[in-house]
Structure 1
Amino acid sequence: MADDHTHVQDFFSVRAAGWDRRFPEDGPAYAAAVGELRLRPGDTVLDAGCGTGRALPALRTAVGPDGTVVGADLTRAMLDAALRAGRRSSGALLLADVARLPLRAGTLDAVFAAGLISHIPHPGHGLSELARVVRPGGHLALFHPIGRAALAARHGRPLSDDDLRAERRLAPLLAGAGWRLDAYTDEASRFLALATRTG
């Protein structure tokens, strides 16, 4: 597990400072995805693997001034970039492994996770941990600002049905972790899977 974490931290640490410049047009896509998370004023939401915190302003808008927004990431350099971008005003920033969150069970109304699932060493365990901290009936959004085919092309590989984000793989993975897949979108402009906490 430590080696997996080191790999993720090494990957993102060297990219953190220029991350937002690499993807400057993603803001509206993040806001649109947050809009589908069914957040209400006063809710408590986690941005899991928040990176530079691009979703935090939209999450703050959704839950309002009485809500709670927390961004958690494993890589200190990404959180430092979020601080430099002024995103701490939208939510608290937490250096934490999303597979071992320092949060009590059932304390969250929702989790937003952009690009996270492919960076979790053990996705089933990570999704179970996210389920642990969300109340029954709470929501999860797994998001990426481009779809699976576009992302595969960006990385120079063919699209595969073995991809964790393929619906036929993702639905049972979520179900085994305490989630019910409610909606699945995989198109050129975005990937968005919406799930509800069961039990």
Structure 2
Amino acid sequence: MADDHTHVQEFFGARAADWDTRFPDDGPAFAAAVGALGLRPGDAVLDAGCGTGRALPALREAVGERGSVLGIDVTPGMLEAAVRAGRDRNGQLLLGDVARLPVRSQSLDAVFGSGLISHLPQPQENLGELARVVRPGGLLALFHPIGRAALAARQGRRITPDDLRAEPVLRPLLASSGWRLVSYTDEDSRFLAVAVRQD
């Protein structure tokens, strides 16, 4: 586990300072993805692997002042960048691990995870931990501002059939972790999988 987290911290730590300037136009895509969660005023939501907090303003707007927004990330530099951008005003930021969330069971209405799935060290167990903290019927949104093919092209690689975000892989992975996939979109302009927490 430590080695997995060290890799993630090194990867994102080296990129934290200029992350937002590298991807400056993602705001509308984040807002649209948050909209897919159907959050209501007063809801409690977690941004898992929140990075620089780009989803936090949209999450705050969705749940209102009475709602609760928590952003958690394993990389200190990302959280520092979120604070510099003023996004800590939209929610509480915590340095922590999605494998062991400091959150009560069934206390949240939804979880949002941008770019999260490909960085989970133990996907089945980690998605199960996300399920633990969400009430039955609550939602999980796994998002990326570009689709699988566009991301692979950006990184100079090919999509492989064992990609965790491929629907035939993701659907049973979610099912084994306490979730049921209810919608799946993979197009150049975005990747968005929404799942509901099973009873």
1:40 to 2:40 alignment: yes
Distance of 1:169 and 1:59 partners within structure 2? 28
Report the equivalent of 1:160.
160
Deviation per CA, 1:47-103: give whole Å up to 9, x if none: 000000000000000000100000000001000000000001100001010111011
1:112 to 2:112 alignment: yes
Report the equivalent of 1:6.
6
Cα drift, residue 159 of structure 1: 1.5
Distance of 2:14 and 2:159 partners within structure 1? 27
4+ residue runs over 3 A deviation: none
Report the equivalent of 1:175.
175
Cα drift, residue 37 of structure 1: 0.6
Distance of 1:58 and 1:102 partners within structure 2? 23
Structure 2, unmatched stretches of 5+, are none
Distance of 1:131 and 1:52 partners within structure 2? 23
RMSD: 0.5
TM-score (norm 2): 0.99
Deviation per CA, 1:7-39: give whole Å up to 9, x if none: 000111111010000000111000000011110
Identity over aligned pairs, percent: 72
Equivalent residue pairs, number? 199
Structure 1, unmatched stretches of 5+, are none
Distance of 1:162 and 1:153 partners within structure 2? 17
TM-score (norm 1): 0.99
Q: Equivalent residues in 2 for 1:4-153 (5 A)? A: 4-153=4-153
Deviation per CA, 1:102-129: give whole Å up to 9, x if none: 1110000000000000001111111000
Q: Secondary structure at the match of 1:53?
A: coil
